[in-house]
Amino acid sequence: MQKICVIDGQGGGIGSTIIKHLKTSYGERYEILALGTNAIATANMLKAGANRGASGQNAIVRTACQVDVIIGPISIVLANAMLGELTPAMAEAVASSPARKILLPISQENVTVVGADSAPLPRLIETMLADRLLGG
């Protein structure tokens, strides 16, 4: 069974929305791991239906290289993003992971991704699912 890791921080709202849509679209086809930069984000992603979850830098660094797909906002590859919750080690682990990365162009950072659609989160997730980026 493929493992999908959803990474989020702060309140975990983006990650929770992603997980709800994945569960609705794919059921139990994938094992979904919730990795939060903090315990609140992880708890909210678990409530959304993730199979397992963990919090903090070590959890993200150790797990990023053990999953097939990583999904989250583009901030998960930006050191010191999410008001400093996303540490440089976390960003490096995600960026260096051999896992396929599906990054949503949502960021509160001072970063602009030229050419990225500024659609709201639900539409970005619909696009991700419609484009069959997970192969299913």
Reported as a single tens digit per residue, the pLDDT across 21-80 is 999 999 999 999 999 999 999 999 999 999 999 999 999 999 999 999 999 999 999 999
pTM for the model stands at 0.91
Pick from 85, 100, 97: which is nearest to 2 by CA? 100
Q: Which residue has the tokens 């830098």?
A: 57
Lowest mean pLDDT among 8-22, 40-54, 83-97, 99-113: 99-113
List the structure tokens of 46: 């678990």
CATH 3.40.50.1220 fits 3-130, yes or no: yes
The Cα–Cα gap between 128 and 18 comes to 10
